[in-house]
Amino acid sequence: MSIHSYENTSRTAQAGPLSLHYHEAGPADGPALVMLHGGGPGASGWGNFADNLPHFAGRFRTLIVDQPGYSRSELPEPDCDYFSYSARAVIALLDELDIPRAHFLGTSLGGGVAARIALDHPARATKLLLSAPAGLSLNLFSPAPTEGLRRLIEFGESAAPTREQMRAFLTTLVHDPSRVTDALVEERYAPAVEERARLGAARMAASFARWPEGSLLWREAHRIGCPVLLTWGREDRVTPVDGAFVALKTLPDARLHVFPRCGHLVQDEAAEDFRRLATDFFLG
């Protein structure tokens, strides 16, 4: 069995009042790298980052965290917006693991959580790599909701979501539709329709509805002092690339890399270039 298999890297720890599931690999004395996955039905840390884990674990103490409400992690009723709630849980996990500072790599929803960590706990964040981060994007030319968000909403609001709805959503995440195989649809569909997962998604959505100000991270981006690398797919249909420019202009220490022929999942569609870029940024 590979040292980087699901079973060999799977961990569970108490993070404040929550039980969080995560994966850990890499040298215990290496610089810490926390990877925070995107959202959507059936999402998980392993699903977002498993293929990238061997690369990063060769250089970093790498933690792939299942955020509250995803995979095996708990999500009681949040008492604040989800970005703040998840950020607090991740910091509690790092406290439990005695990790004082870390790099954070967050995609989509996870990018918003990483940004909130840097805002609320600036001493804990060394560098941020944010891939099409939620909350920091502000569309300049693209209509809202985007195609990807419409498909996500359709799946979430359906009384009995179908595999066809899952396929339609997943197809908006990529530039190359051949990546959306039957196996991938099933991998995301099966956990997404479980009652626990649907409850978690509903609680997350309700937290943003109740505390809408918490989702407007772009208004606070000027307070993030650590170095930030923004990455985007040029063909992103969930968070279009024109949404990057407010964050790029507002963040005090930011740079932007746009991958051609890529959708929302640059860590998959441009995996080799993404890994090299991320490693150079974190270790440079």
Active site (catalytic) residues:
264
Listed residue (119, 137, 158) closest to 237, CA to CA = 137
Q: Taking every pair of C-alpha atoms in the chain, what is the biggest distance, in angstroms?
A: 49
DSSP letter, residue 143 = -
Q: Which strand (E) or helix (H) includes residue 149?
A: helix 147-157
Q: Where are the alpha helices (DSSP H) in 97-220?
A: 109-120, 147-157, 163-171, 182-192, 195-210
105 forms beta bridges with 35, 129
Q: Are the beta carbons of 186 and 163 closer than 8 angstroms?
A: yes
* Neighbouring-strand partners of residue 281: none
**Total residue count of the chain as it appears in this document:** 284
* Omega before residue 100 within 30° of 0, cis: no
Is beta strand 32-36 parallel, antiparallel or unpaired with respect to 18-25? Answer: unpaired
d(CA 109, CA 102): 18
